[in-house]
Amino acid sequence: MNFNELRKKYKFFYYNDFEIIDEKNEIILKFDFEIPNLARFFPTTTILKKNFKLKDVNSIKAKNMVFNIGLIELISYWKCACPENVIIKCGYLNSEQIAFWKKLYFNGLGELFYRNNIKTDIDSFMNIKTSSKIEDSTDSENGDSNNIKVLSSIDDSMNIEKVTDPSSGYIVPIGGGKDSVVTLETLPLDRKKDFCLIINPKRVTLKCAELAGFESNNIIEIKRTIDPSLIDLNSKGFINGHTPFSAMLAFTSYFVAYLLGKKYISLSNENSANESNVKGENINHQYSKSFEFECDFEKYADKYLRAPVKYFSFLRPLNELQIAKLFSKYEKYHSVFKSCNVGSKNENWIWCCNCAKCLFAFTILSPFLYKDKLVSIFKEDLFEKKSLLETFIELTGNGEYKPFDCVGTYEEVNYAVTFVIKKMENENKELPYLLKYYKENFTMADMSEDITKRYNENNNLTPEQNEILKNAILNC
């Protein structure tokens, strides 16, 4: 359906309310969104409590965090009709916060706008209005919040001191791919006190945590549901597309870290996530994995969420090729890890071997595992698949745009491809179809620099964390 026609018909989006339901075995976060005359949505996020020792989930501070989780959840529902006016009825945002959210929404939806041919800008795509400010909100950990329905965000004008830092330890979100495995294996984690965090657990993600030495009681399991009404609207042709999932992970993991008293949320986003998918334009499928978002979130959380929690990416100094090199050493994960979004829809999560994500993972690992070990992982040689030629051309930067997926930079892909070609030629081996095509049609990468020895100092790691990662890559 047409963007402008939808906006004329559906002018308002309401974030009506949120609820924290604290039950014996789980914490349920329930949100209430509405597009009048179209649909009302009630998505939920459920956190299994297991035997965790948690802070009060109904404190004012906790409620403020959940209010903010709702602000990132709402974008998945707003996008179906893109109403011009977003009305926040259950909380207050000042002008600085509104600017943060508009930037996140606009950049996080960059791919959706591009692929749906939507012409708009950051000023006009959305107007955000919130309820009046509540002047008597406090930052008390244990204050009575039963009578507070509309939450005010914490403002500097309230002259509230930042909470001291009694927390320690790590939470490591994992998604079943090679990146989080490298974080799990490289950080000096305490398997009895630190935690893995998994949203919508699958056999693959749970197995990765198990192989890393984490037992069930140190695995945070979260189930996030999509309201069926949104799925129905998508099937009817309302606007659909990519939303900033990693931003949702940021706010949700921050809330969990606060409840558990953990200091670090260690993501596994690499430096490569900063590259645009469309040449000459700032359209990034991985925007909410970028260093820009990481820094924006850190500033926002420090000022408006105010828990002693640090959100950062441990792998930010590295590129995808370096991560692949490290991962190639962890053989116990090779038959388990998965990164294919198409294959994730299968109950057992498989490599579909027909998408950009599969071909990228195959390519970036090829300098270290090609051929026999890599074929044993994917069950076929993706470099021999003629059906993947167009995707291969896009991954190497010779197409119109980079595939809209979590894939590495053109430089990394070209380096990996050139490396394997030269290695095979030195061994007098016949090149597979895609590599032969590359050599005959494109310029080989400059191999004068070993890009697996780079280190980006522009990161949010502590000196100790930097030292750990530097040693890992230098000794690999």
pLDDT in tens, 222-263: 999 999 999 999 999 999 999 999 999 999 999 999 999 999
Express each pLDDT in 366-414 by its tens digit.
999 999 999 999 999 999 999 999 999 999 999 988 888 889 999 999 9
> Does residue 27 register a pLDDT over 50?
yes
Q: What is the pLDDT of residue 275?
A: 83
Q: What is the pLDDT of residue 433?
A: 98
User: Is residue 285 domain-shared with residue 328, that is, in the same domain?
Assistant: no
User: Is residue 248 domain-shared with residue 301, that is, in the same domain?
Assistant: yes
User: Is residue 444 domain-shared with residue 399, that is, in the same domain?
Assistant: yes
Q: What is the pLDDT of residue 277?
A: 82
Q: What is the pLDDT of residue 144?
A: 37
3 state SS for the chain = CCHHHHHHHCCEEEEEEEEEEECCCEEEEEEEEEECCCEEECCEEEEECCCCCCCCCCCHHHHHHHHHHHHHHHHHHHCCCCCCEEEECCEECCHHHHHHHHHHHHHHCHHHHHHCCCCCCCCCCCEEEECCCCCCCCCCCCCCCCCCCCEECCCHHHCCCCCCCCCCCEEEECCCCHHHHHHHHHCCCCCCCCEEEEECCCHHHHHHHHHCCCCHHHEEEEEECCCHHHHHHHHCCCCCCCCCHHHHHHHHHHHHHHHHCCCEEEECCCHHHHCCCECCCCCCCCHHHCHHHHHHHHHHHHHHHCCCCEEEECCCCCCHHHHHHHHCCCHHHCCCCCCCCCHHHCCCCCCCCCCHHHHHHHHHHHHHHCCHHHHHHHCCCHHHCHHHHHHHHHHCCCCCECCCCCCCCHHHHHHHHHHHHHHHHHCCCCCCHHHHHHHHHCCCCCCCCCHHHCCCCCCCCCHHHHHHHHHHHHCC
Please give the tally of structural domains in the chain. Answer: 2
Express each pLDDT in 114-126 by its tens digit.
999 999 999 999 9
Quote the pTM value: 0.92
Q: What is the pLDDT of residue 319?
A: 95
145 inside domain: no
User: Is residue 308 domain-shared with residue 428, that is, in the same domain?
Assistant: no
User: Is residue 175 domain-shared with residue 206, that is, in the same domain?
Assistant: yes
Structure token digits, residue 334: 């090779």
User: Is residue 338 domain-shared with residue 302, that is, in the same domain?
Assistant: no
Indicate the average pLDDT of the chain: 91
Q: What is the pLDDT of residue 276?
A: 79
Q: What is the pLDDT of residue 151?
A: 44
User: Is residue 366 domain-shared with residue 417, that is, in the same domain?
Assistant: yes
User: Is residue 306 domain-shared with residue 390, that is, in the same domain?
Assistant: no
155 inside domain: no
pLDDT band at residue 7 using 50, 70 and 90 as cut-offs: very high
Express each pLDDT in 43-76 by its tens digit.
999 999 999 999 999 999 999 999 999 999 999 9
Q: What is the pLDDT of residue 278?
A: 83
Residue where a domain terminates, one of 313, 332, 353: 313
> Does residue 287 register a pLDDT over 60?
yes
User: Is residue 423 domain-shared with residue 347, that is, in the same domain?
Assistant: yes
Express each pLDDT in 148-174 by its tens digit.
344 444 443 333 334 445 568 999 999
pLDDT band at residue 282 using 50, 70 and 90 as cut-offs: confident
User: Is residue 303 domain-shared with residue 399, that is, in the same domain?
Assistant: no
Express each pLDDT in 421-452 by its tens digit.
999 999 999 999 999 999 999 999 999 999 99
Provide the residue range defining the domain that includes 446.
Answer: 320-454
